[in-house]
Structure 1
Amino acid sequence: MKALAYEKAHALDAFAVNVAEVAEPRLRDGDLLVEVRAIGINPGEAAIRQTRSAEPGGRVILGWEFAGVVAEAGSAATGFAVGDRVLGTGDITRDGCWAERVAVDHRVVAKLPDRLAFTDAASLPIGVLTAGEALFRDQDALPAGVDRVLVIGGAGGVGSMATQLLKATTPAFVIGTASRSESREWATAMGADLVVDHRGDLAGQLHTAGIGHVDLVLSTAGTSGHLGAIVEVLRPFGHLAAVDVTGPLDLGAFTGKSLSLHTEMVFSRITAGGDVAGQGRILARAVDDVVAGRLRPIVTTTLEGLTAETVKAAHALAESGRTIGKTVIQVAG
């Protein structure tokens, strides 16, 4: 089958992802083989392309956000049949979905109704799962006493879904951050009650709005750079959920306020162990919410055809740091 692959880690200006002929995925007992119809693009994949090289003689196939049609089911892949329309993520240690077909654990997949387009569906999985797991860690609920939530990066993929999930399922007052007029408009459209500029004085902007503190901060980007401001605006015994922690953080300031920190990595359930099927349940609930109008897909840019050119264009958008919502590639066929 055809796939988009590369061998050595590289920068965008030396883009080396090309069409390759690769072997069909090998299914495990609990796998589905999915014909890919649309893929979502994520900044994390661009970071992997920049840093991860293939093993000698191998290649890297990226992409862990997709919608498509089940072509085959493993013997232990219950609840699905050939021909089912699905959306899902996958396993970052296995080949991704930049290919005609992808093998994926059925527990991180959910069915799609006919009324939900593949391109819309492909904009949902990573944002829904990352935001949902970061925010609702205590029996699918916010921590006790959380009434005000600040979402740093309110116009991005995770921030867009976080704001929607909070407004659809909780009474929380949601504050989003955005620095440009178009991103501020998008964050407001996602349901944010207030939008502030993360490039400015966060505490001052909140004070001007009559808000002395927030109870929880979801930081989707630039956590290390915003850490001082985050600590300043959090109440004592408040919470920071961060999805972009890749290096050391100076947590000394957390102690004075007895703040809690938890991190989120969307693939940890399947790579490190845990309730893997919980991700399928989160996706299925999100699909129901979209159909009912409680959530909306976040695709803002659609590129046609899974080619080296479209992938490069998508990564250029991802690396710009100015993406609003989600870029999706529609795969021919």
Structure 2
Amino acid sequence: MSTTQSFVPSTSRSVATLSAGPIDAADSFVEVDLPIGEIGPHDLLVAVKAVSVNPVDVKQRAGNQEQGEPKVLGYDAAGTVVAVGTDVTLFAVGDDVFYAGSIARPGTNTECHVVDARVVGRKPSSLSYGDAAALPLTSITAWEALFTEMRLTTESTGTLLVMGGAGGVGSVMIQLARALTGVKVLATASRPESVKWAEAMGAHHVINHHHLREEAKAVAPEGINWIFSPFSAGNVETYAEIMAVRGAVVAIDEPEGLDLLPLKSKSQSWQWELMFTVPLHAPDDLSQHHLLNRVADLVDRGVVRTTATQHFSPLDARNIREAHRAVESGKMIGKVVVEA
């Protein structure tokens, strides 16, 4: 390990979950000192200044079967590099960074976090750590869905439907699609406050997901070319009906018993986006590093804004629990962050 600092701690104060169960269970969130572990040749050690909570955190907590074994969640962070591995060339000690990390490694709800530098970007200099921590996971998901799966470019035209336009990913996807493509952006929302938020993000039209078929056809009678779907259960037939010939769905959920046959008649396609694919299966791929840097540039130019709407502090078990509670409510607009 190469570092300009003389002292690197061996343990880190962490917020962990001990077992699956309801959010208010005594061991749903506990504060423990855990070993930092080895800093590999491609790793950074980051002093975490802020984290964000995503639906994946709630899913991981609910499905944690490691009874009695502390599991640290958290897949968003902003902080400062305090040590670097021997092969790291992208960052140096003292750099401010933001990232989502990997689901295969301990999460970010900790004082000091080890992460592969190749999935890390520079923190937007115009944002606080909290506002920056709201962006990595959702930005990676939105960017990969738009530009890797849908293959949109600056020259692309047509119609994109963003389901859940006031959610974390939807909020970023609307902004990126407006800034970097020529497509018409539709978004779904139903409550007045979520409609207002989706409009503020830049949606050309906001439609009610409770009346998806009727309102989508009214706004896009020629058919929708791309649909981003975080809520796929029960929607496949409607998607097939409102999409154009050879339209495409990119989904991030995995509803049980999904039947895609309704898409066949119009030669429509279904793809999945998982932002953990790169760290899990292509660790040498620098695409997430580059896209996070690009997002940081867009933020600092005033093109993309943070989606943080709720802030808690400090980073302790009580506030992580409250952040999870906000996400579990199903009424989140934007993102919730917890600052150290």
Give the whole-Å Cα distance in 1 for the aligned partners of 2:256 and 2:229: 15
Q: 1:113 and 1:238, CA in 2 relative to 1: closer, same or farther beyond 3 A?
A: closer
Q: 1:236 and 1:103, CA in 2 relative to 1: closer, same or farther beyond 3 A?
A: same
Q: 2:224 pairs with 209, 214, 228, which one?
A: 214
Give the whole-Å Cα distance in 1 for the aligned partners of 2:159 and 2:292: 25
- How do 1:231-310 residues align onto structure 2 when only pairs under 5 Å count? 231-273=240-282, 276-310=285-319
- What is the SS of the residue equivalent to 2:265? helix
TM-score, structure 1 normalization: 0.94
Alpha-carbon shift at residue 246 of structure 1 (Å): 4.9
The equivalent of 2:5 in structure 1 is none
The equivalent of 1:319 in structure 2 is 328
Give the whole-Å Cα distance in 2 for the aligned partners of 1:66 and 1:113: 13
- How do 1:111-130 residues align onto structure 2 when only pairs under 5 Å count? 111-130=122-141
User: Does the 8 Å contact 2:246/2:266 carry over to 1?
Assistant: yes
TM-score, structure 2 normalization: 0.92
The amino acid of 1:163's aligned partner reads I
User: Does the 8 Å contact 2:159/2:220 carry over to 1?
Assistant: no
What count of residue pairs does the alignment treat as equivalent?
Answer: 328
Alpha-carbon shift at residue 114 of structure 1 (Å): 3.8
Q: 2:39 pairs with 8, 27, 31, which one?
A: 27
Alpha-carbon shift at residue 144 of structure 1 (Å): 8.9
Alpha-carbon shift at residue 142 of structure 1 (Å): 4.8
Q: 1:127 and 1:250, CA in 2 relative to 1: closer, same or farther beyond 3 A?
A: same
Give the whole-Å Cα distance in 2 for the aligned partners of 1:163 and 1:115: 21
- What is the SS of the residue equivalent to 1:283? helix
The equivalent of 1:177 in structure 2 is 188
Give the whole-Å Cα distance in 2 for the aligned partners of 1:102 and 1:57: 22
Q: 1:230 and 1:138, CA in 2 relative to 1: closer, same or farther beyond 3 A?
A: closer
User: Does the 8 Å contact 1:25/1:102 carry over to 2?
Assistant: no
Give the whole-Å Cα distance in 1 for the aligned partners of 2:40 and 2:65: 25
112-121 or 64-73, which deviates more: 112-121
- How do 1:26-105 residues align onto structure 2 when only pairs under 5 Å count? 26-54=38-66, 58-105=69-116
The equivalent of 1:153 in structure 2 is 164
Give the whole-Å Cα distance in 2 for the aligned partners of 1:136 and 1:62: 28
User: Does the 8 Å contact 1:25/1:101 carry over to 2?
Assistant: no
112-121 or 310-319, which deviates more: 112-121
Q: 1:197 pairs with 191, 195, 208, which one?
A: 208
- What is the SS of the residue equivalent to 2:148? coil
User: Does the 8 Å contact 1:145/1:215 carry over to 2?
Assistant: no
Give the whole-Å Cα distance in 1 for the aligned partners of 2:38 and 2:283: 24
Give the whole-Å Cα distance in 2 for the aligned partners of 1:272 and 1:210: 38
Give the whole-Å Cα distance in 2 for the aligned partners of 1:64 and 1:210: 36
Q: Quote the sequence identity (%).
A: 35
- What is the SS of the residue equivalent to 1:22? strand
174-183 or 225-234, which deviates more: 225-234
User: Does the 8 Å contact 1:53/1:60 carry over to 2?
Assistant: no
Alpha-carbon shift at residue 276 of structure 1 (Å): 2.7
1:277-297 deviation digits (Å, cap 9, x = unpaired): 100101000000000111111
The amino acid of 1:213's aligned partner reads G
Alpha-carbon shift at residue 140 of structure 1 (Å): 5.8
**Pairwise CA RMSD:** 1.8
1:135-163 deviation digits (Å, cap 9, x = unpaired): 11169635997510000000000000000
